[in-house]
Chain A
Amino acid sequence: MFKYLSKMGEHTVEISVATSPSIHCEKFFGKIENTFQVPDLKVNILTSYGSSFTDYEVSIKKQVDKITFQRSDYLIESTPDYTSATIHVHDELALKHALMNLYSSYIVYHNWGLIIHSSCAVQNGKAHIFAGHSGAGKSTAARLSEPRDLLSDEATIVKITEDEITVFDSPFRSELQSTGYQQPSPLGGIQLLHQADTNRLEKTRKPDALLSLMDKVFYWSHDPVETQRIMGLLRTLVEKVPVYELYFRKDPTFWELIS
């Protein structure tokens, strides 16, 4: 068992992990210098849990002093404010999904922001999100965005305040691994993806944008209070940032439409 400090979003995370040849925590939790800062989250990771991934079904149980999320390949036991948790995992995929589950719960609970099912690339200091249903082209858009810096290719970490919307480097990658910690960038816009023969960009009305983004948020709990928080965060997001329908062909020319 070893212990170290890491960063997720703007939060300091203290990791305790059992040594295991099959789990590489550093993929998700790069080590940072000890700044003597009090960690925002403490995560204890244990291995050899359950069986391989079967489906996304997560069973949630709430008690007064504890909340648990259970899937065939992971179990999260957390304090109700998500500041301290033990994660039992079967393998690395389970670890990734469990960490997303925990961190998403943490940032929504603390009204900090959302994890959005999307990729995100940076141009001229501004982050641009590419969201869409499965197969719409999030990873393709990310690949076609090279050599721009990528903040995410699957799950984008977005901090939402009344003053500013900021995207942080996401450790939750699918194909395109992070090339090192990218600096956070202010969000310039959100593109809802549609593959097409020609490139076209259309501004989306805010109510439509809010509805389109609702099912792109990674979230597990069905607590009405937290659902209200997500709606509040999404409302602020679409009030502050333009959202577009992007019809794009599979080459980098769609970037010509994005300012």
Chain B
Amino acid sequence: MVQFIQKNSFDATHIEDEWIILDTEQFTVTRLNELGGFCWLKLQEAQSVDTLREAIDQEFGAVCEKTSIDNFLSDLMKCGLISHAI
């Protein structure tokens, strides 16, 4: 099962209902909403689409579509925030 994990060198700031993720090496900024921030924190440890889906269900009592999580992870990959966990 494919797993994902945060890369290093990030500073995450939680303010109001958003997370601001600063890549302190590349100096890029990514903004995440509350749900995105929750997933981001989970990604401190390796996660698959299924484990994230389960965690969201437990925390928010909401079933998240797999494709939404796929898209979210794909966006984080494009932003250089996560990589495949080996």
- Chain A contact residues, CB within 8 Å of chain B: 205-207, 210-211, 214, 224, 227-228, 231-232, 235, 238-239
Contact = CB atoms under 8 A, between A and B. Distances in A.
Nearest to A238: B15
8 interchain residue pairs of minimum CB distance: A224-B24, A207-B18, A228-B11, A227-B24, A206-B16, A206-B15, A231-B11, A207-B15
B44 interface: no
Contacts of A231: 11, 13, 20, 22
Given A207-B31, A211-B29, A227 B18 contact: no
B4 to A, nearest CB: 22
B11 A205 contact: no
Main SS at interface, chain B: strand
A54 B15 CA distance: 39
Contacts, number: 33
Interface string B1-40: 0000000010101011010101011000101000000000
B20 A207 contact: yes
Interface of B: 9, 11, 13, 15-16, 18, 20, 22, 24-25, 29, 31
A207 B11 contact: no
Contacts of A210: 13, 15, 20
Nearest to B17: A207
21 contacts: A205-B16, A206-B16, A207-B15, A207-B16, A207-B18, A207-B20, A210-B13, A210-B15, A211-B31, A224-B9, A224-B25, A227-B11, A227-B24, A228-B11, A228-B24, A231-B11, A231-B20, A231-B22, A232-B13, A238-B15, A239-B15
Interface of A is mostly: helix
A104 B16 CA distance: 28
A23 B34 CA distance: 53
Nearest to B29: A211
A239 B22 CA distance: 18
